[in-house]
Amino acid sequence: MVLLDINSRPCSLRPVCLLVGLVVAAVAVVALAGNRETTFFEDIADLPLAPGLIEDRDQSLVFDKPDGRIVEAVASGAVTGQQAIAFYQGVLPALGWQAAGRTELHGNVELIFERDDERIRIVVEEREGRSTLRLELSPK
């Protein structure tokens, strides 16, 4: 069986590349269409809220320091803790954040991510089908 005959006329990969490009574009359009309602934390403009969570602005806190900003935010909603965790574990790496730790204590899950000179600590608490997410952004 000959898999590649170097004496044969080379075929063009353009149709294959075009097809792959069209499929990737279609997937991106569908993904963006599904995320039209994406909202972001008020004080962390590039951090989206997990679907189903609503930010509690009364519990937000922001400090700007010479060595970086400190932001505390709280969001809650009728989503499971696992849904919130899966969302942030999927979305944060796509935004340049690297996972730096995960711990579980008394049913709560703590996720830590780092990017450049900042660290995000996310604590997810779940009670009766509702989750509360406590987020702390700080310098490393």
44/63 Cα distance (integer angstroms): 12
Q: Buried b vs exposed e over 81-94: b needs ≥16 C-beta within 10 Å? A: bebbbebbeeebee
Strand-pair partners of 63: 70
Each domain of the chain, given as residue ranges in start order, spans 54-139
In the structure encoding, which two tokens stand for residue 46, read together? 């590039």
Span 69-94, pLDDT tens digits: 999 999 999 999 999 999 999 999 99
CATH fold for domain 54-139:
Protein Transport Mog1p; Chain A (3.40.1000)
94/119 Cα distance (integer angstroms): 16
20 DSSP 8-state letter? H
Span 3-13, pLDDT tens digits: 545 555 555 65
What pTM, to 2 d.p., does this model score? 0.71
